[in-house]
Amino acid sequence: MSSRAKVRFGWPLLAVASLALAVLDSMYEGLGWLALAIVPACGVGFVLGRVTTTAWQATAGLRDVSVTGVALAVGFGLAALVLPKLIAATGVVGSLIVPAALAATAGYLVALATRRDVLEEAERLDR
């Protein structure tokens, strides 16, 4: 699969999966009306994807796949250590942290997948 196809089709598919997990987690936690807080989180992720990230940074994982695996392993390890304590300490609002983070991730991925400079950089990697 080409890098451009991964960016154009794979990242939005991951965004849909992330948003679905956010909705399912908020329903599982019984957040009710607090679950509406994931909507602005999705918008924040979209803005961050448009404003703060360069095309080179966004496609770094496509250039060196081993770096992405290490980053994911470290991130998941830290999340496994920190999130349970953070959620327990903050109570009901803490249950909103994971769905909001998943929604922000979905917005971020959609923002990157729709940027022309990111698509061009991914196409450049295929050459």
- pLDDT tens digits, 36-47: 888 899 999 999
Cα angle 51-56-62, degrees, rounded to a multiple of 5: 120
Question: Which residue, among 2, 5, 7, 14, has the nearest Cα to 117 in the 3D structure?
Answer: 7
What is the domain range of residue 101? 3-126
Contacts of 65 (CB under 8 A, 6+ apart): none
Across the 127 residues of the chain, what is the mean pLDDT of every consecutive 10-residue run?
Answer: 84 91 86 84 92 85 75 81 81 82 91 90 84
Please state, in angstroms and rounded to a whole number, the distance separating the CA atoms of residues 10 and 5.
7
pTM (2 d.p.):
0.81
Q: How many domains does the chain have?
A: 1
Give the model's pLDDT for residue 111.
92
Please state, in angstroms and rounded to a whole number, the distance separating the CA atoms of residues 32 and 12.
27
Give the model's pLDDT for residue 38.
87
Give the model's pLDDT for residue 104.
93
The tokens of 36 are what?
A: 């509406």
Task: Scan for tokens 């496994």, then name that residue.
Answer: 80
Give the model's pLDDT for residue 31.
81
